[in-house]
Amino acid sequence: MTACRPDPIADAVAGLPEAPPDPRWETMRRVPVGTRARDAAVLMLFGRGTAPVTDGGRRAVRTMARQWADADVLLLQRAGGLRHHAGQVAFPGGGVDAADGGPVDAALREAEEETGVEPAGVDVLGTLTPLYIPPSRFLVTPVLAWWREPGAVHVMDAGESESVHRVAIPDLIAAENRGVFTGRTGFTSPAFTVGTLAIWGFTATLLDFAFDRLGWAAEWDSNRTIDIDVP
């Protein structure tokens, strides 16, 4: 890894740790009293070079600054048989193991194990505040990174992941691909749809935060409901 960040996407993402936090995160930072949380990390890996696949995304390209128009982010769809968050679209990541040096090492290791990302081609830019995820009892540190030397990615273990995707940012910010998801318990979160991918919950909340603070977000209808079939 190198500290050099010549790309404007990398420079912008590197500023996210200093950006004002999302007010919704206030409750997500606190682990309930008496709960034993496990440390975990996810890799928010931004790159460049993926074209949008939706009509809305192609229109969004025309309104974005040229330096952001081909930005992308790495996501995967978790396998349907997993104990926690089965079938959900997520960033690569998982629990911090004893052999890891911390959340950064864990995020890079998990990304390599899940998608084939080569850590040597990734520049770590910083971390965000750890957030607690009640269903899995993970205290998750989002690790921000720039894909300096992108390579092929694919499912490494079908028992862990169903598919791996480089998703174009214009597809995610397009107004017709955005909305709000409400779960059976009344939980609400931002939501995105890109083709067959439906993104909600923790992952969508982080993407929403990043797009807003980076100035990439376009106007969208926050009253629009997206129905997602959650196992």
Q: What is the mean pLDDT of residues 34-49?
A: 92
Q: By C-alpha distance, which of 212, 158, 209, 191 is closest to 44?
A: 209
Measured in whole angstroms, the distance separating CA 87 from the mean position of its chain's CA atoms is 15
Average pLDDT, the chain: 91
**Which regions of the chain does DSSP assign to beta strands (E)?**
38-48, 71-78, 89-90, 93-95, 122-127, 131-133, 138-147, 161-168, 178-182, 188-194, 197-199
**pLDDT tens digit string along 71-103?**
999 999 988 656 666 678 999 999 999 999 999
Share of the chain above pLDDT 90, in %: 74
Rounded to whole angstroms, the Cα distance separating 122 from 124 reads 6
| Position 2 pLDDT exceeds 50 | no
189 with 89: CB under 8 angstroms?
Answer: no
pLDDT of res. 175: 97
pTM of the model: 0.92
Instruction: Give rounded-to-5 percent helix, strand, coil for the chain.
Output: 25, 30, 45
b or e along 76-97 (b: 16 or more beta carbons within 10 Å of the residue's beta carbon)?
bbbbeebeebebbbbbbbbebe
The domain locations on the chain are 8-171
Question: For the domain 8-171, what is the CATH superfamily, name and number?
Answer: Nucleoside Triphosphate Pyrophosphohydrolase (3.90.79.10)
